[in-house]
Amino acid sequence: MTANAFTADTTATRHDWTLEEINALFALPFNDLLFKAQQVHRAHFDANAVQVSTLLSIKTGACPEDCKYCPQSGHYNTQLEKEKLLEIEKVVAQAQAAKEAGASRFCMGAAWRSPRDKDLVLVEEMVRQVKALGLETCMTLGMVDGDQANRLAAAGLDYYNHNLDTSPDFYGEIITTRTFSDRLDTLATVREAGMKVCSGGILGMGEGAQDRSALLQQLAKLSPHPESVPINMLVKVPGTPLENVEDLDPIEFIRAIAVARIMMPQSHVRLSAGREQMSESTQALAFLAGANSIFYGDKLLTTGNPQADRDRALFAKLGLHPEKRETCESEDTQAARIAQQTQQQRAAELAVDASV
């Protein structure tokens, strides 16, 4: 199959993509690839709506896994301050602030290999209280078994995040303490418990083009597709083995966003970690390529993320708006509040200027 032979089917949902087909998509002329991704995107979503989530680290550092990209791994000295599991009240307060800032989903992450029973009791209560605020809930807690997944589902957890990270072949170069099959097993367990799946990968870890194709192939094999697919650009953290890896060309990153959109047409494709280092132009291309979800706020677990006011300004510049969610306030109310916050921010800046 040649690249030019591919015709985008804007309605088909497939789980049988071959590496030859995926490589052919990546090889398309850039304009053609983005055009096909736009066709698929517009068939399933409002092209100018972006789902907005906020991510909070509820337990930071001292993770026993050896993921070479992660500042929370106990195997590396990254000067990260370790924190115990946050109190429920602090988590709920952060969730309320996230909702007021425009988020419709609140994601909570803990640096565990897998949760302990005594911790899971607290996590379940976090889910219940955050959900009571009218937010969608998401957790990433490492590997979970069937009983743990069922308990989380019973507490009302909407999404469980567990990334595949990279291709099966390259996986062993990045992580040795957990197998690729372990990750697939956790995703199957979460799905069997009735929760939605959030699963994606990290690009720019030194993988080859074939690895990026193989990662997307594995994600698309999942049935159903993950409802949320975060595509992360590696954030190089001093002290980790990947701190000096060569940067991935931003155009290659955008190509991956577009191919993910075509292969998983009904999934939210999330422009995730690495946005702090991306220009507005790169982010705009990602939205054009079919990304329709972001994390909103100043931090993703332990790495930087564009400030909320910067995101609001970028949304205004591009004519984007937060996606309406049934579990959240109306889109009109949300848009009016964000506009009011922007005006307040500008007024504050003018006041500072006037006092100088």
Residues marked as catalytic: 63, 67, 70, 107, 138, 198, 270
**64/76 Cα distance (integer angstroms):** 10
Is 125:86 a contact under the CB 8 Å cutoff? no
**344/356 Cα distance (integer angstroms):** 19
How many CA atoms are closer than 13 Å to the CA of 150, on its beta-carbon side? 3
Peptide linkage before 224 cis (omega within 30 of 0): yes
How many CA atoms are closer than 13 Å to the CA of 85, on its beta-carbon side? 15
Q: Which residues of 207-226 are buried (b: 16+ CB within 10 A; e: fewer)?
A: beeebbbbbbbbbbebeebb
Collect contacts of 7-11 with beta carbons under 8 A, ≥24 apart. Answer: 8/36, 8/37, 8/39, 8/40, 8/262, 10/39, 10/40, 10/42, 10/43, 10/44, 10/265, 11/43, 11/265
**52/61 Cα distance (integer angstroms):** 26
Phi, psi of 134 (to 5 degrees): 95, 15
Q: Where are the beta strands (DSSP E) in 164-233?
A: 196-198, 201-203, 228-233
Is 293:275 a contact under the CB 8 Å cutoff? no
- Cβ atoms within 10 Å, residue 297: 22
DSSP-derived 3-state class of residue 190: helix
Nearest to 260 by CA among 249, 247, 272: 272
CA angle 290, 137, 303 (to 5 degrees): 65
What is the residue whose two structure tokens read 């109310």? Answer: 333
